[in-house]
Amino acid sequence: DAGVTQSPTHLIKTRGQQVTLRCSPKSGHDTVSWYQQALGQGPQFIFQYYEEEERQRGNFPDRFSGHQFPNYSSELNVNALLLGDSALYLCASSLPGRDNEKLFFGSGTQLSVL
Amino acid sequence: SQQGEEDPQALSIQEGENATMNCSYKTSINNLQWYRQNSGRGLVHLILIRSNEREKHSGRLRVTLDTSKKSSSLLITASRAADTASYFCATVHNAGNMLTFGGGTRLMVKP
């Protein structure tokens, strides 16, 4: 049973560019959340997708957008990249119901903005 | 901004010793969770404690929650070198499952 998978593993971009990160949730999971983790810090919530809609959003600018597809996979898009966007981007999936508060994380995409 | 604060930020112990990490938060919670992260990669869920619970155990892990003090602790007993990792507490504040993480405790267990 495959866990949460993310691609690519590493990515290097320059300021002003746009980037798309991808995530496939764990089998049977329908909710996908995205987190940004700067070096030496804890992850920060970006947004959560359920039934192809953004259900919750953290304190991130509109440059950060996402999408969820009918097969529950998800994309995170970041426009007009800034140096401060350099971070590990983590995708997490969960099941509906009481246990949905437990998240399963992928290994992340390390984004470097130069 | 991050809700929780972990203490200590870094901890170094010998194999076989116990490791205790503390977490404090600011507003009322639905539940509190502890995660482990190796080498800046994905996080692994360790244990979840709900706001109406005071203590939970899972193997060598013991978590306590004091809602009056808005604090939690994670105890790892009989630590092993393989326990070396960063440990994060995360709080859930409403019916959804958005996690608010603390800054983490970096644990090193020396063989």
Q: DSSP 3-state assignment of B26?
A: coil
Asked if A90 lies within 8 A of B43 by C-beta distance, the reply is yes
Mean pLDDT of chain B: 92
Query: In Å, how far is A44's CA from the nearest CA of chain B?
Result: 7
What local confidence, expressed as pLDDT, does residue B65 receive?
A: 98
What does the CA dihedral A59, A62, A67, A73 come to, rounded to 10 degrees? -40
Least confident of A91-100, B17-26, B94-103: A91-100
For residue B88, give the nearest of B45, B29, B34 by alpha carbon: B34
Backbone angles phi, psi at A89, to 5 degrees: -105, 120
Q: Which residues between 16 and 75 in chain A have a beta carbon less than 8 angstroms from any beta carbon of chain B?
A: 31, 33, 35, 37, 39-45, 48, 55-56, 58-59
Q: What would the pLDDT profile of B1-19 be if each residue is shown by its tens digit?
A: 445 688 899 999 999 999 9
- Mind listing the pLDDT tens digit for each residue in B52-80? 999 999 999 999 999 999 999 999 999 99
Task: Tell me what pLDDT residue A101 has.
Answer: 78
Dist CA A85 CA A82 (whole Å):
5
Question: Is B101 close to A42, i.e. CB distance below 8 A?
Answer: yes
β strands within chain B, DSSP E: 5-7, 10-14, 19-24, 31-37, 43-50, 55-58, 61-66, 71-76, 85-92, 100-101, 105-110
At residue A100, the pLDDT reads 54
pLDDT by position in tens, chain A (length 114)? 679 999 999 999 999 999 999 999 999 899 999 999 999 999 999 999 998 999 889 999 999 999 999 999 999 999 999 999 999 999 999 887 655 578 999 999 999 999
